[in-house]
Amino acid sequence: QKEVEQNSGPLSVPEGAIASLNCTYSDRGSQSFFWYRQYSGKSPELIMSIYSNGDKEDGRFTAQLNKASQYVSLLIRDSQPSDSATYLCAVSDTGGYNKLIFGAGTRLAVHP
């Protein structure tokens, strides 16, 4: 069974610190990787997508991908209280057209 694993948290970081969120996946054939942010009671919002090994930066967010280790991470620099949310890692499902496999999410709490 294809799985995406995330630490459920909560991950608690002080304001201004770097938050590091990790994700591992089981489907070695996956080619597309995504991070979504979900505030309580809201639907997921796309933050980052990454397709190649290495780092991809967008503002305060950096996604890192290591296909050999089947590992994806998201770094949030200068964390703000507004970053407090659940972060979902999603991986493309090689068995289904445009389907994604979601992790259970990591809850991030940024405290002032």
Partner 1 sequence: GAVVSQHPSRVICKSGTSVKIECRSLDFQATTMFWYRQFPKQSLMLMATSNEGSKATYEQGVEKDKFLINHASLTLSTLTVTSAHPEDSSFYICSAPGSGSPDTQYFGPGTRLTVL
Q: Provide the binding-site residues for partner 1, judged by CB under 8 A.
A: 31-32, 34, 36, 41-46, 49, 88, 90, 92, 96-100, 102-105
Residue 87 CB, shortest distance to partner 1, in Å, is: 11
What sections of 27-88 are H helices per DSSP?
Answer: none
Rg (CA), the chain: 13
- Smaller CB distance to partner 1: residue 18 or 46? 46
Residue 16 CB, shortest distance to partner 1, in Å, is: 28
Nearest residue to 108 via CA among 57, 54, 60: 60
